[in-house]
Amino acid sequence: MRVLVVDDEEKIRNVIKEYAEFEGYEIDEASDGMEAIAKCKAGNYDIIIMDVMMPKLDGFSSIKEIKKIKNIPVIMLSARGEEYDKLFGFEIGVDDYVVKPFSPKELMARINAVLTRSKSSATETSKQEKYVLDGLEIDMLGRNVYVDGVKKDLTPKEYELLQYFILNKNIALSREKILNEVWGYDFFGEDRTVDTHVKMLRNNLGKYRDKIVTVRGMGYKFEE
């Protein structure tokens, strides 16, 4: 497993490298966002550990550029722990968010958890390349959604949420379970994170919005 560690502080890169190599990971490093993008274009990585505040190009901007060319799981590192920053990170496709100062052992546990979920999701997706329900079509491999032939511009999290609903269709899912499985992060019980994304997803699905049913007092389910 190859890990790209991106941080302008060499001390932090060295700590992560020491613990990750002990876990058996192969480590590559970058000291700023521009270097990270160049390395992702040139090689393949299983996961990226990305600092937010860096010279030349910040972590959020770097991830947005990397996501255009490769879908690599990402854990963000930041000294800022505000809800807005976390929500923005999840919106652009970040898998987890770790606030500095952090425990290297906890970071390793989060890396393992994200990679396990990513592998599981890829396996499930490979079993079902396309999902079609009347005029609703989801291209699982291309990560594209069409409503009556019109392509919808979903955010990464909206797509992952829809995919999770479809892979678990007709099953009532609690908000907590959705948070853990889609965001992979105990978001301090912020159920409105799920509710907000469901609302946006329903708007994108148009006349198929009612396929996502609210389960009162619990969460949601996708009904065929």
Query: Is 15 within 8 Å of 41 (Cβ atoms)?
Result: no
Give CA–CA dist 217/219, Å, rounded. Answer: 7
Element (H, E) at 3: strand 2-6
Dihedral sign from CA coordinates of 214, 216, 220, 224: negative
pLDDT of residue 128: 62
**∠ CA 174-125-222 to the nearest 5 degrees?**
35
Give CA–CA dist 92/108, Å, rounded. Answer: 22
Ranges 50-54, 86-90, 184-188, most confident: 50-54
Residue type (1 letter), 98: V
Average pLDDT for residues 212-220, to the nearest whole number?
92
pLDDT of residue 191: 65
**pLDDT higher than threshold 80 for residue 196:** yes
Q: How many CB atoms lie under 10 A from the CB of residue 85?
A: 16
pTM score of the predicted model: 0.63
DSSP label at residue 23: T
Instruction: Tell me the C-alpha to C-alpha distance, in Å, between residue 193 and each of 176, 212, 213.
Output: 10, 16, 17
Q: What is the pLDDT of residues 108-166, one digit of tens each?
A: 998 988 888 777 665 555 556 778 888 999 887 778 899 999 999 888 888 889 989 98
The proportion of the chain whose per-residue pLDDT surpasses 70, expressed as a percent, equals: 92
Instruction: With CA atoms as reference, report the closest residue to 176 among 166, 161, 186.
Output: 186
Give CA–CA dist 210/198, Å, rounded. Answer: 11
Question: Domains in the chain, ordered, with CATH?
Answer: 2-123 (3.40.50.2300), 128-222 (1.10.10.10)
**pLDDT higher than threshold 90 for residue 187:** no
Query: Is 60 within 8 Å of 92 (Cβ atoms)?
Result: yes
Give CA–CA dist 166/172, Å, rounded. Answer: 12
Average pLDDT for residues 78-105, to the nearest whole number?
82
pLDDT of residue 189: 47
217 contacts: CB under 8 Å, gap ≥ 6: none
pLDDT of residue 177: 86
DSSP string, 29-86: EESSHHHHHHHHHHS--SEEEEESS-SSS-HHHHHHHHHHH----EEEEES---HHHH
Give CA–CA dist 188/3, Å, rounded. Answer: 27
